[in-house]
Amino acid sequence: MARMWSFSFTYANGKQSPELIVPINTPVKINLVSLDVIHSLFIPAFRIKSDMIPGRQKEMWFLPKAEGKYDIFCAEYCGLQHSFMRSSVTVFTQEKFDEWYIDTTRVAAVATEAGPGGEGLAIMTSQGCFACHSPDGTRIIGPSYLNLFGEQQTVVRDGKDVVITVDEAYVNKAIFDPNSEIVKGYQRNLMQSYKGVLTNDDVAKIIEYLKTLSDAEPSQ
């Protein structure tokens, strides 16, 4: 799955990864889905490249014959952060792949190490949220998460400026209906809805993470 500006890979058992992990000497078929604009999945080492077009079902396949880690690039210009849209393919032995495939502890471990809000941080990292929104006050494509929760923002709603408070209801709307209210000064239609991608429980965990940033000091 591609979106501005990250790839993610979902396996048959529901496991998700920002990198593609595959077993050696096993044909790999990838269903290609774009959630926003045209992207292109390019794996130079395997000499394969295919556009990913919103609303169109496409597939690509390859046969990995050597262990190692290989680059993935987006080969179709897709916006301001296009050059940062990279990932990798790691080819494991079948035994090592099987261990990785059934291991469900990694995300939990990352969340635990991150402390309060760690589960939300892990979800946002896996979904590529930090490609557009910084946690430290840096302005990127979208508003920074620093000191965001609980603060007032001016948004454009139906063509009119409206002052709102960033609370649980606003975060839910921003994730599931992102273009209904756009923070003033930012561009419409860059973020697509996460309906069917994130659950209400996922959003609740994200909100807990955002709350941990509300007292942080801006970076210098």
**The domain that contains 124 carries what CATH number?**
1.10.760.10
Q: How far apart are CA 11 and CA 31, in angstroms?
A: 10
According to the model, what pLDDT value does residue 218 have? 40
User: How far apart (Å, rounded) are the C-alpha atoms in residues 110 and 24?
Assistant: 27
pLDDT of the residue at 216: 45
Residue 203 belongs to domain spanning: 113-212
Do residue 99 and residue 124 come from a single domain?
no
Rounded average pLDDT over 150-170: 93
Whether 51 maps to a domain, the answer reads: yes
Identify the band that residue 193 occupies on the pLDDT scale cut at 50, 70 and 90.
Answer: confident
Q: Give the pLDDT confidence of 51-98 residue by residue, as tens digits.
A: 999 888 899 999 999 999 999 999 999 888 888 899 999 999 999 999
In a domain? residue 219: no
Same domain (yes/no): 83, 127: no
Q: Is the pLDDT of residue 126 over 80?
A: no
In angstroms, the CA 164 to CA 150 distance is 10
- Which pLDDT score, from 0 to 100, does residue 17 have? 86
How far is residue 124's CA from residue 111's CA, in Å, rounded to a whole number? 11
Looking at the fold, whether 122 and 39 belong to one and the same domain comes out as: no
| pTM score, whole prediction | 0.63
Residues 91, 124, single domain; the answer is no
Q: Which residues pair with 81 in a beta bridge?
A: none
Shared domain for 163 and 198, answered yes or no, is: yes
Same domain, 153 and 188: yes
Please name the residues in contact with 12: beta carbons below 8 A apart, sequence gap of 6 or more. none
Residue 217 domain-assigned (yes or no): no
Total domains in the chain come to: 2
How deeply is 198 buried, as exposed, middle or buried, from its count of CB atoms within 10 A (0-12, 13-18, 19+)? middle
**Judgement on whether residues 52 and 122 belong to the same structural domain of the protein:** no
pLDDT of residue 105: 56
